[in-house]
Chain A
């Protein structure tokens, strides 16, 4: 091996190593400061998950908008995953046309509140036609009608130390006294997604009331993440500074079953 060649190789390797090391240092600093670490950051898969979450968070301005389609783009077929909850309370509320349904919002808020379906419908309504993809691979376009999540969060007054908004549907045992034993399809958003202008508490779909299999009476809709993030059959919203105490602490019931918490992918 000639002197010249090995020196060049050393310089190239040196530059690459220096760029890699300084890149890592900068990334670690930013992650520390701006909360770019997802709840499921542990283990070898946590490395990839953290990089994806942090990279996408850095790329996205808080308000980068999902594409809005027109009503003529609405898919004829809107598949659903999984049946409605078998929960007794849910079945009773469903039979009663959700007249007795209340959405509870608690946690790090100034005014913990209950909202009826009529309460939510009295708030400023919005209609969005956007795309939703399931992590399985299928997708559809639909119109969603509801109130902005941020509008409701402002009504209850989110405290400054809030880091996550946690969503519980009737297909979770959210009423469990011990929060660590909560199981099911609960999920959580970071504040960036919770304040996003297209994040809706949707009670209508394609010009009608939200159909039962799509999450009646009210579901979350976040268009910048895969469909599983849009929790259905909502019953309780908790604002918190940590998801550590809920379930196994990964930020979502699905994550306990092996699905990554962040679903902007």
Chain B
């Protein structure tokens, strides 16, 4: 079995890990604030999108102009007012929270220690075995779940360092004021409409991540994992004397 090779390492780690919290306070707090603001962003983003549910490429686009994708949703105007207020309130919350998370993750070496895959982890065979076990809905052993496996590491790194920056930058590229300050940002995305289209697809990628994330939390044991992200510990904590 693939897991056999891991046991010594896990054994050493687990003796330390069972005592210290599974997630640091900064990770736990920023996780839930981010989760809340993500729902705010998604809900308000849909409200903004349905005013014009068509996607274009380039600088311009509108009814009568060639479109890239016509989403099978009717045009529903009138929701983008509060939609934008909520979108920006949530975006500020998410971005400021993300800055605290990124700063703390770099200073505490959380990224390097917990999220950066080791050289031996980076093998297709290992990645495939993890994905295969997940697809077969095979619950991971408790020792395995004390550290992130390579698929989790790569996914979290991708979300934190690729999708989050992309969604922020493509959002900023749509802003006419920001485009006047940093014209290359909008041009780099291929135009205001391209930035809007990319913003949409990165949102889809984040929603896909959220679905898989919740599925994996269910697979690993919903109550324990959610408790770990709230209290820091997966089991009710023993009082030490």
Contact = CB atoms under 8 A, between A and B. Distances in A.
Interface of A: 1-2, 5, 8-9, 12-13, 15-16, 20, 44-45, 47-49, 51-52, 56, 59-61, 64-67, 69, 73, 75-77, 79, 131, 133-141, 223-226, 254, 257-260, 264-265
Q: Is the interface of B mostly helix, strand, loop or mixed?
A: helix
Given A13-B25, A16-B104, A141-B59, A260 B85 contact: yes
Given A16-B100, A136-B51, 19 more contacts: A9-B26, A16-B103, A16-B104, A47-B92, A48-B86, A49-B88, A60-B177, A64-B181, A66-B180, A75-B60, A77-B62, A131-B60, A133-B174, A133-B176, A138-B52, A141-B60, A259-B80, A260-B81, A264-B177
Contacts of B91: 48
26 contacts: A2-B20, A13-B25, A13-B26, A16-B100, A16-B103, A16-B104, A45-B82, A59-B177, A59-B181, A60-B181, A66-B176, A67-B186, A75-B62, A77-B63, A131-B59, A131-B60, A136-B52, A137-B51, A138-B63, A258-B85, A259-B80, A260-B84, A260-B85, A264-B175, A265-B84, A265-B177
Interface of B: 19-21, 24-26, 48-49, 51-52, 54, 59-65, 77, 80-82, 84-86, 88-92, 100, 103-104, 107-108, 174-181, 183, 186-187, 192-193, 196
B102 to A, nearest CB: 11
In the A-B complex, the 7 residue pairs with the closest CB atoms: A264-B177, A48-B89, A258-B81, A137-B52, A138-B62, A45-B85, A136-B51
Contacts of A44: 89
A44 B82 CA distance: 11
B69 to A, nearest CB: 13
Nearest to A265: B175
A59 B59 CA distance: 23
Given A13-B26, A60-B177, A141-B59, A52 B51 contact: no
Contacts of B183: 67
Contacts of A1: 19-21
A264 B20 CA distance: 47
Given A12-B108, A137-B49, A49 B20 contact: no
A66 B84 contact: no
A136 to B, nearest CB: 4
A76 B19 CA distance: 67
A51 B62 CA distance: 30
A248 B86 CA distance: 21
B26 A12 contact: yes
Given A45-B86, A59-B181, A140 B62 contact: yes
Contacts of A65: 180
Interface centre among B59, B61, B62 (most CB of A within 10 A): B62
A49 B90 CA distance: 11
A139 B61 contact: yes
A224 B180 contact: yes
B89 A47 contact: yes
